[in-house]
Structure 1
Amino acid sequence: MNPDLGDWDEDLPPEPEEAYQDLVRALKRKSGFGLYFVQCTPAEADRLIAKLPQDIPQKHIELLRLVEAIDNLYERVAEFVKDKQVDILLIKGLEYSLYKYEKRTFGEITENKFSDLTSVPYILNHLNQQRERFRDDFPFCFVFLLRSFSINYLIHRAPDFFDWRSGVFEVPTTPELVEQESTRLILSGDYGEYLKLTQEQKIEKVLEFQDLLAEKHQTEDGRASLLFELGNLLVSAKEYEAAIASYDKAVEIKPDYQEAWFMRGIALFQLGRYEEAIASYDKAVEIKPDYQEAWYIRGIALRQLGRYEEAIASYDKALEIKPDYHQAWYNKACCYALQVNIEQAIENLQKAIILNPECREMAKTDSDFDSIRDDERFQELIEQEEV
């Protein structure tokens, strides 16, 4: 029997231009108060902001761009539209008022779970309670440009306001835009910068990763790289379990992703799961034998387990690759000191000090050297003046 293919595309999502034209037609027809919600990426939102005034020239279109959290949208709108003729008001940036009150754990965010639907951000509680005032006082169309996260928030936590919607539009992305946005996010990834982010900014960044990971046009390589960067962001937030889950997905896609294996080990190390961390470092150096950082951190994990000889061997591997690795020389000295091998401890500490004189100051208070601290040779080394 031949299947009926007459309506084969009935449930397919609209193309970006088709969705955009649907929005344009709706806004052209509508007069007076209306609530429209457009699900789109920040990049697509900027495109809409530029195009809508060109395609609906007969309407007076204004943009209210929110750049920080607010609790009262009514007052902000009233102030903004004062003395303006407005037919359509585009609003971008409502997300900032949601990040501030996001109470989910990072693990729940990465799994798209809502843990506490009774917690309503002030801004959404305000929208629920003031919808009649919006209708009565603002005789124009509101167009909220939102990411999928925000749409879900409105559905679950501002149902009264959302129920008055005139239309909901999803503007799908293109493969080119997905690649462009993914590349931007990956190339801008910097652990040091992640550490500087506020909690709200970290949540915003996590959700940005989530949006791109969920894109149907996302490539496997792009997905692996995004998962790796997401893991790094989660490590910076001390969300180690969620980070491990992200690295696991990255290496599932790309088994030879040595950086992901290494950072997975870092997250496991932070949880005190040293054996698992060592296994992860082993994978990293198996893929990249000259991965000096992995050899070095592997040595630290072995040292935590009291496996000093193995730790020393791991530091030696790092030093074969990078002979001026003062941290490896210093930590070798620590292992020898813990074994009360005074000669080797002093010899390795001396090499570390030559490479970095700060190692002398560290050794003065480092408890790893307590067993040899009273030795005359050790005292002489740490008391020497810098030349």
Structure 2
Amino acid sequence: MNPNLSDWDDDLLPEPEEAYQDLLRALKRKSGFGLFFVQCTPGEADKFIVKLPQEILQKKIAVLRFVESIDNLYQPVAEFIKDKQIDILLIKGLEYSLYKYEKRKFGEITEGQFSNLTSVPHILNHLNQQRERFRDDFPISFVFLLRSFSINYLIHRAPDFFDWRSGVFELPTTPEVVDEESTRLLDEADYEEYLKLSPEQKIEKVLEIQDLLTEKHQSENLQASLQCELGKLLHSADEFEAAIASYDQALKFQPDYHDAWNNRGNALYNLGRNEEAITSYDQALKFQPDYHLAWFNLGIVLNNLGCFEEAIASYDQALKFQPDYHDAWNNRGIVLRNLRRNEEAIASYDQVLKIKPDYHRAWYNRGYALDDLGRNEEAIASYDQALKFQLDYHRAWNNRGIALYNLGRNEEAIASFDQVLKFQPDDYQAWYNKACCYALQGNIEQALKKLEKAFNLNREECSEWAKSDSSFDGIRQNERFQALIQ
């Protein structure tokens, strides 16, 4: 089954302006209990809420708004209308009770798809079961302001309640309203905020964008922007294939849309399709040569492919157009260290820290490069700075311990590895490193105890290390040690 609005042969929607006038006439005529379902966007609903009392002066109108999921509508209505004279009750926000039942992948959400639902939303069961109580106890007109997908839910999952409808209406839209709604959504857009949203909130955003994309007054430029935003939202939910499909739609409307090309490259990169990602970034840079984000992302992919010199050149381009882009300086340093050009890497990290002194990862990476140069004291100082700004950064604690171990300061090294294990109790490297320290101190029992713990967490890797590690030369003939490395 794939129902949609056109399936309602007895409720075919007239033109929106005509539907609006029909709604006004119906509400004016209606006395006592009635159910009205109005298809509209949230913005249109807000305008309608303000406008309706001016259109129907002879009736008392109230608004009940929901901003989170509910399982029971009867009780909130009973409490809301108690001791009030109300003829028409507008209800907005019922869709919040439906989002969590959308169990499919976000990229598969299309209007009218209900086959993947595992259960009927509680609120719809409630409406089916309580419809007689609504009729008998509330002699008022209920006007549900809903998106199209919500009305479809009511048709197919609350048919007993919906069948008592007094009418289904669609509020009129204008190009100005569509532009206003679309612009509002785009102004609120923020990928970092998308990452913080719950699955239900992400679904809400997806459906809101999809509603706007179906508007007949939608301009091509805004369609492109909305498709790109939909792609970012899907990307935030790790729906990379669906995100690419949205970016492709954006590029149909606007082939030179450099942001869509760039984000498309990011999704391809996340799928491991590196060559295609590079092609996408190249397209972004073809249309916007100074687009520093595309140069930066291109550098990431090139580095992952082992094309280190090309990656550095790409980061250099990003920095040419955005000199204070600290992430580009940091990544550039990582590539230079991969090439064993540690002095240049340190200089790159120093540039990061001029721009962002509290960037703990740059302090850590700087310490790593100093380690490679054998400058252990300076490396420890760098790790200390990383830990000053991120105390639970277990990698910095581990590398700090290794630098102390290299200096023969085993007690301090053990204390550093203890900090690793405080934050990451199953870090086998820290257990192994502690075993090395105890072995050098001649504490055989503690060395074997920590080594056994490391082996329990990662036998294969720890065994390879221990076979050639000079730290264990003093206990190499020990039976427990021999049993471990066999």
* Aligned 8 A contact 1:104 1:114 in 2: no
CA drift of 1:203 comes to 1.8
Structure 1 equivalent of residue 260 of structure 2:
260
CA distance in structure 2 between the aligned counterparts of 1:230 and 1:328, rounded to whole angstroms: 27
Aligned ranges 1:311-326 → 2 under 5 Å: 311-326=311-326
Structure 2 equivalent of residue 237 of structure 1:
237
With over 3 angstroms needed to count, the CA separation of the structure-2 counterparts of 1:335 and 1:381, relative to structure 1, is: farther
Q: Which moved more, 1:304-313 or 1:282-291?
A: 304-313
1:279 partner amino acid: T
Structure 1 equivalent of residue 209 of structure 2:
209
Structure 1 equivalent of residue 269 of structure 2:
269
* Aligned 8 A contact 1:39 1:147 in 2: yes
List gaps (5 residues or longer) in structure 1: 1-11
* Aligned 8 A contact 1:14 1:172 in 2: no
* Aligned 8 A contact 1:264 1:280 in 2: yes
Structure 1 equivalent of residue 220 of structure 2:
220
Structure 2 equivalent of residue 9 of structure 1:
none
CA drift of 1:374 comes to 4.0
1:312 partner amino acid: I
CA drift of 1:166 comes to 1.6
2:364 partner amino acid: M
Question: Are 1:42 and 2:42 matched, yes or no?
Answer: yes
Deviations 1:159-188 (A, max 9, x none): 121112121111231111011111111122
Structure 2 equivalent of residue 169 of structure 1:
169
CA distance in structure 1 between the aligned counterparts of 2:97 and 2:176, rounded to whole angstroms: 30
2:134 partner amino acid: F
Structure 2 equivalent of residue 57 of structure 1:
57
Paired residues, what number?
371
Structure 2 equivalent of residue 309 of structure 1:
309
Deviations 1:10-61 (A, max 9, x none): xx97454322210111122222222111111222222322233333333332
With over 3 angstroms needed to count, the CA separation of the structure-2 counterparts of 1:58 and 1:351, relative to structure 1, is: closer
CA distance in structure 1 between the aligned counterparts of 2:233 and 2:118, rounded to whole angstroms: 28
CA drift of 1:365 comes to 6.7
Aligned ranges 1:130-209 → 2 under 5 Å: 130-209=130-209
CA distance in structure 1 between the aligned counterparts of 2:273 and 2:336, rounded to whole angstroms: 24
* Aligned 8 A contact 2:330 2:362 in 1: no
Q: Secondary structure of 1:83's partner?
A: coil
Question: Which of 362, 365, 369 is equivalent to 1:363?
Answer: 365
Question: Are 1:105 and 2:123 matched, yes or no?
Answer: no
Structure 2 equivalent of residue 375 of structure 1:
373
With over 3 angstroms needed to count, the CA separation of the structure-2 counterparts of 1:133 and 1:323, relative to structure 1, is: closer
* Aligned 8 A contact 1:117 1:157 in 2: no
CA distance in structure 2 between the aligned counterparts of 1:355 and 1:90, rounded to whole angstroms: 53
Question: Are 1:69 and 2:69 matched, yes or no?
Answer: yes
* Aligned 8 A contact 1:295 1:318 in 2: yes
Bigger Rg, which one? 2
Q: Secondary structure of 1:36's partner?
A: strand
CA drift of 1:360 comes to 5.1
CA distance in structure 1 between the aligned counterparts of 2:264 and 2:110, rounded to whole angstroms: 17
User: Which has the larger share of helix?
Assistant: 2
* Aligned 8 A contact 2:346 2:366 in 1: no
1:87 partner amino acid: D
Question: Are 1:93 and 2:108 matched, yes or no?
Answer: no
CA distance in structure 1 between the aligned counterparts of 2:170 and 2:31, rounded to whole angstroms: 22
CA distance in structure 2 between the aligned counterparts of 1:211 and 1:39, rounded to whole angstroms: 11
Structure 2 equivalent of residue 30 of structure 1:
30
Structure 1 equivalent of residue 8 of structure 2:
none
CA distance in structure 2 between the aligned counterparts of 1:252 and 1:365, rounded to whole angstroms: 47
Q: Secondary structure of 1:166's partner?
A: strand
Instruction: Calculate the aligned-residue CA RMSD, in Å.
Output: 2.7
1:180 partner amino acid: E
Q: Which moved more, 1:229-238 or 1:167-176?
A: 229-238
With over 3 angstroms needed to count, the CA separation of the structure-2 counterparts of 1:379 and 1:298, relative to structure 1, is: farther
CA distance in structure 2 between the aligned counterparts of 1:343 and 1:364, rounded to whole angstroms: 10
CA drift of 1:348 comes to 4.3
With over 3 angstroms needed to count, the CA separation of the structure-2 counterparts of 1:257 and 1:62, relative to structure 1, is: same
* Aligned 8 A contact 1:227 1:246 in 2: yes
* Aligned 8 A contact 1:104 1:115 in 2: no
Deviations 1:268-291 (A, max 9, x none): 222322222211111111111111
* Aligned 8 A contact 2:371 2:379 in 1: no
1:375 partner amino acid: L
Q: Which moved more, 1:130-139 or 1:293-302?
A: 130-139
1:134 partner amino acid: F
Q: Which moved more, 1:12-21 or 1:120-129?
A: 12-21
List gaps (5 residues or longer) in structure 2: 1-11, 386-486
CA drift of 1:341 comes to 4.3
With over 3 angstroms needed to count, the CA separation of the structure-2 counterparts of 1:284 and 1:105, relative to structure 1, is: same
Q: What is the TM-score normalised by the length of structure 1?
A: 0.86
CA drift of 1:249 comes to 0.7
With over 3 angstroms needed to count, the CA separation of the structure-2 counterparts of 1:326 and 1:75, relative to structure 1, is: closer
- The percent of aligned pairs where both chains have the same amino acid is 66
Structure 1 equivalent of residue 399 of structure 2:
none
* Aligned 8 A contact 1:108 1:114 in 2: no
